[in-house]
Amino acid sequence: MDIKEIEKELKKYPFPESVRRDIREELAKLDLNKKSLKKIIDRCYEEYLSNLMEPGEAAGIIAAQSIGEPGTQMTMRTFHYAGVAEINVTLGLPRLIEIMDVRKTPSTPIMTIRLQDDYSNDRKLAREVANRIEATYITDLADISVDITGMKIILFLDEKVMERKQVDKDELVKKLSKSLKVDVEEKDGKLYLSPKEPSYRKLLQTVEKMKDIVIKGIKEIRRVIIRKEEGEYVLYTEGSNLKKVMRVKGVDYRRTTTNNILEIAEVLGIEAARNAIIKEALDTLEEQGLNVDVRHIMLVADMMTNDGEVKQVGRHGVAGEKVSVLSRAAFEVTVNHLLEAAIRGDTDNLSGVTENVIVGQAIKLGTGDVELISKLGGRSK
């Protein structure tokens, strides 16, 4: 039986895409007639339905427990070296907390940059791209000394490094004279910089300023490491700037990511951010050998992103969510919350679980969410 027929039959059932793919793969291996195909899919559908979560189930609490319990087994502080490339990555519990807290910048921002076809197989070209990305400062290229009597700064250029980093000397001269407003003179491999206004203070200021100039590359990217992975060169960076890196020539922007979730949200949108949260959280858990079902993490990621911006989940739940007075009072500093609510004249709609427990009502969950009506007309059997 061909794939098309199987696909046609599968389309009649509302399977999620991943389940459909799995069934299709398995069915393709078998040689079936139409009748048994139908039977198998029918049985699969039955199984699928019995595995769905029932309405009324406390999905959030189950997700929280399913992430929380393995979380207790995580090593508190782990600093790990990712493979051979000696990039320092925050992992384990600190990283998981970071993801949930949605910090503006992760403590160890890292980018994975993949290259376009013609660049990804050539070490030299990959190096070129890396040079375009990595921030290069003057201290990397030259030794600095100050000539006080001549009121000059002397740069002893390191030709070898210059060549490796592919920095053009003329360009460097231009860049320095423009951004520092100095006269630059070149004499046998040395650069002489003289400020326009001859003062000792100005001279030292210029030196400091010069150290901060990014000669080449992207400011945020402190280091680039080239690794060969699955037959292609991949760049790993310390520091992250997705927007700029995606524009660099030779970079395959479709396969380039960062571990900074907020940056992804900004550059690629909220759906991408949701996927990034799922991926990052799952990776940190898996790295510790903990297997948490994706769906728990998906639920959390959905809650964090469903209103179009990434919100953090902390101990007060998802940030920005309106919380009832009673449930806040049940959590911390009871009297203060109640007092302030009384002063403001707040109302409580008793919509949450905690509030209803306090008042002594059935909660809107599980058995408490079932509405009974009488079935008139006597026996059905």
Partner 1 sequence: MEIKTDDKSRKSSKSFPTGYTRFEKARIIGARALQIAMGAPVLIKTDRTNPIEIAMEEFNKGVIPITVRRRRDRFIWLEDKGLL
* Shortest Å, Cβ 11 to partner 1: 10
Residue nearer to partner 1 on the CB measure, 10 or 162: 10
Output DSSP code: residue 54: P
Residue nearer to partner 1 on the CB measure, 46 or 143: 46
Task: Give me the count of residues in the chain.
Answer: 381
Structure tokens at 98: 């970071």
CA dist list (Å): 38 to 27, 28, 277: 11, 14, 38
Decide: helix, strand or coil at residue 97: helix
Residue nearer to partner 1 on the CB measure, 55 or 231: 55
* Shortest Å, Cβ 302 to partner 1: 13
Spell out where 239-342 has E strands: 257-258, 313-314, 317-318
CB 58 within 8 A of CB 365: yes
What angle, rounded to 10 degrees, do the helices at 294-305 and 59-72 form? 110
Q: How far apart are CA 198 and CA 150, in angstroms?
A: 9
Residue nearer to partner 1 on the CB measure, 13 or 192: 13
CB 159 within 8 A of CB 189: yes
Q: How far apart are CA 363 and CA 361, in angstroms?
A: 6
Decide: helix, strand or coil at residue 324: coil
Residues in contact with partner 1 by the rule CB under 8 A: 13-14, 49, 52, 54-57, 366-367, 369-376, 378-381
* Shortest Å, Cβ 12 to partner 1: 8
CA atoms within 13 A on the CB side of 134: 22
Residue nearer to partner 1 on the CB measure, 231 or 378: 378
Q: What number of other Cβ atoms are within 10 A of residue 7's Cβ? A: 13
* Shortest Å, Cβ 9 to partner 1: 14
* Shortest Å, Cβ 39 to partner 1: 16
* Shortest Å, Cβ 251 to partner 1: 39
What angle, rounded to 10 degrees, do the helices at 270-287 and 92-101 form? 160
* Shortest Å, Cβ 277 to partner 1: 22
Q: How far apart are CA 80 and CA 78, in angstroms?
A: 6
Residue nearer to partner 1 on the CB measure, 52 or 148: 52
Beta bridge partners of 192: 154, 185
Residue nearer to partner 1 on the CB measure, 160 or 381: 381
* Shortest Å, Cβ 368 to partner 1: 8
Q: Which residues fall within 8 angstroms of residue 252, CB to CB, at 6 or more apart?
A: 114, 115, 116, 117, 120
Residue nearer to partner 1 on the CB measure, 51 or 347: 51
